[in-house]
Amino acid sequence: MLDDEPREIESIQRMMAISGYECHGYASGKSLLRGLRAQRYDLLVLGWRPPEVAGIAMVRRLRERFGNRLPLLLTAGPEHKARLTSALLAGADDFMIKPLGSAELQARVHALLRRAYPTRFERELDYGPYHFSPLTGTIRLRGEPVRLKQREYDLALLLFRNIGRLLPREYLMLTVWGKGLETGSRSLDTHVSRLRAQLDLRPANGMILASVYGLGYRLEYFAGGEAESPYPTAGAAE
């Protein structure tokens, strides 16, 4: 992620964490290029804020260096929308207008990754009887759709992508809500309670959502339940 606004980087990092992606932030084109020499990335999100950050020259430079392999997603304020066409002609793959919505960003990123790496990034994910469709933001339990609000879906996907890991309360609040945990707030606990009921998280379905007092929550596989593997399986591509 390239942007000279720390808040923009933090916001996108939170949204990407929900889908299980690790996102590194860079504040300048020079630091990004240094980072690309040291580490390999699957996709770049470039904040358009001329003249230095993610301009057309940067897009062309990235294309000259990496060819068409590395997906480039541009983000820009409404005032720069007209110039984004030039960036697409220079080699960018897609663009989004700020403010960015979590569901749309996840869908755009997943679509670009799936197109660039078709054997690695599948559209559908199965966790035992639970079937996730990240592009549409829907969940099915044994084929039946489960009606969830956006934050409930984001929380569910984050928990399922981190099965077996203790996720601290503060981390869950920052990632899903984009803010710290307020003293006395019951919003997280309310959403967790709804997920237990809506997704029927119980041994018969192979899942238990455990509360670790004072720390956070952990989604666990239940031995003997329907969800036997600790890893998701990719559903059939459409």
User: Residue 171 sits in a domain of what CATH number?
Assistant: 1.10.10.10
Distance CA 161, CA 151 (A): 15
Range of 135's domain?
125-234
CB 230 within 8 A of CB 221: yes
User: Residue 91 sits in a domain of what CATH number?
Assistant: 3.40.50.2300
Distance CA 159, CA 136 (A): 18
Distance CA 48, CA 77 (A): 8
Residue 91, domain member (yes or no): yes
Residue range 125-155, pLDDT digits in tens: 899 999 998 767 889 999 999 999 888 998 9
pLDDT at residue number 235: 45
pLDDT score of 219 more than 80: yes
Alpha-carbon torsion, ordered 131, 133, 137, 143, to 10 deg: -40
What's the mean pLDDT when you consider all of the chain? 83
pLDDT at residue number 179: 67
